[in-house]
Amino acid sequence: MQLRLAGEQLHIEGWPGVVAVNRSEVAARRQGYGLLLEWQAPAGHCAMLLEPETAATLAAWLPSITVQRDSSTRRWLWSALFLSIGLPLLLLALFFAFRAKIVDAVVARIPAAQEINLGEQLWQMQSARLKLIKGTAANRFLEEIGTRLAQARPTPYSYRFSLADDPSVNAFAMPAGFIVVHRGLIEKTASAEEVAGVLAHEIEHAEQRHALRGLAQELGFTAVWIAVTGDVGGGVAGEWLKGLAGMQFSRAQEAAADAGGYQRLLAAKIDPRGMASFFETLSGQQGDLPGGLSLLSTHPASAERAAALKAQLQSAPSFPPLPYDWATIRASIAR
């Protein structure tokens, strides 16, 4: 079958004989990858499906073909534009709208064994950057009270407590139970119970995986996935350590660590009033510590947190004081 253009007519040869169709009588529309021509003949409705190559030769003769081809092209272009730009933007908007829930779901599926492996590798790198104090009465105190607090409740982690030779008033928890206390915090606290309150708070950050959640939000799930499924090396490890150094917990996370820390102190039979008095100690010394009050910069305090602690303390039981000479412990790290 052959097609031939003859002025205002399309001649179809071999159907049988020659069929002449006026251009004004032909309607064209897309049919799959081809083009369907339709017209009304004396014998009834007629149709012919053309291959794309044949349809292209009729573009000048049938304007409707050109119009429909252009319309299809535009639809394809808009679809491609949506898939390349619109869809990623939509997914990004959905991610930010449900970011917290997505992060919680992802972190909840990371096994403790993988987090422990991650914590070990990160601690090896972090400890090399710290100037650690060892073998003092302050070290023994941190190990004894820290272990007592950690074992007061079931935990998948083996906690390790380290003392950094840093004058800033700070403490932080790394994934999988690595707790670091700065020398400045020991020097500025008034009692063993105050430091116990800080340790209980930091243990709860580790138990509730706040650092892991924060890193997932800051660095994205790709970095988290690489870190927990294989060796942490090169750029990924560096980004993790940067994230840990600059991490600031949310007020909700701080409140959760306060609440969990309070219950942990009770379970360990340690007076929880030290947790509240520690914040009072910091508040009283804040003016004397320009730039050094690191704990409050990374662990934001709030009136709500203080009020919640005071409300709990009204019904708190009494426990014997911890058997430590705090002056001796502070003197063991004096500079």
Instruction: Tell whether 37 and 118 lie within a shared domain.
Output: no
Contact by Cβ (8 Å): 32, 42: no
Q: What is the CA radius of gyration of the chain?
A: 36
Cα distance between residue 38 and residue 48, in whole Å: 7
Instruction: Tell whether 261 and 174 lie within a shared domain.
Output: yes
Look at residues 22, 47, 70 and tell me which one is the last residue of a structural domain.
Answer: 70
Look at residues 28, 53, 70 and tell me which one is the last residue of a structural domain.
Answer: 70
Instruction: Tell whether 166 and 237 lie within a shared domain.
Output: yes
Residue 236 has pLDDT above 80, yes or no: no
Contact by Cβ (8 Å): 228, 115: yes
Assign residue 34 a region (left: φ > 0; alpha: ψ between -120 and 50; beta: otherwise).
beta
| 88 lies in some domain | no
| 91 lies in some domain | no
Model pLDDT for residues 2-21, shown as the tens digit of each residue? 777 777 787 777 766 778 88
CATH, residue 9: 2.30.29.30
Tokens of 38: 């339709």
Q: Return mean pLDDT, the chain.
A: 80
Instruction: Tell whether 124 and 54 lie within a shared domain.
Output: no
| 78 lies in some domain | no
Contact by Cβ (8 Å): 185, 198: yes
116's CB contacts (< 8 A; 6+ apart) are 156, 157, 176
Instruction: Tell whether 12 and 62 lie within a shared domain.
Output: yes
Residue 68 has pLDDT above 60, yes or no: no
Instruction: Tell whether 44 and 187 lie within a shared domain.
Output: no
Q: How many angstroms separate the first and last alpha carbons of the chain?
A: 102
| 84 lies in some domain | no
Greater confidence (15 vs 151) lies with 151
| 27 lies in some domain | yes
| Angle in degrees, CA 194, 199, 205, rounded to 5 | 135
pTM of the model: 0.68
Instruction: Tell whether 179 and 318 lie within a shared domain.
Output: yes
Cα distance between residue 143 and residue 194, in whole Å: 15
Mean pLDDT of 235-249: 67
Tokens of 62: 């049938």
Instruction: Tell whether 293 and 199 lie within a shared domain.
Output: yes
Greater confidence (115 vs 58) lies with 115
| 87 lies in some domain | no
Determine whether 197 is exposed, middle or buried from the number of CB atoms within 10 Å of its CB (0-12, 13-18, 19+). Answer: buried
Give the range of the structural domain holding residue 140, as residue numbers without chain letter.
103-331
Instruction: Tell whether 42 and 112 lie within a shared domain.
Output: no
- Beta 178-182 vs 171-174: how paired, if at all? antiparallel
Instruction: Tell whether 202 and 288 lie within a shared domain.
Output: yes
| 82 lies in some domain | no
Residue 204 has pLDDT above 60, yes or no: yes
Instruction: Tell whether 60 and 124 lie within a shared domain.
Output: no
Instruction: Tell whether 202 and 53 lie within a shared domain.
Output: no
pLDDT of residue 333: 98
Overall number of domains in the chain? 2
| 93 lies in some domain | no
Mean pLDDT of 133-154: 98
Least Cα distance to 252 among 311, 216, 196, 302 occurs for: 302
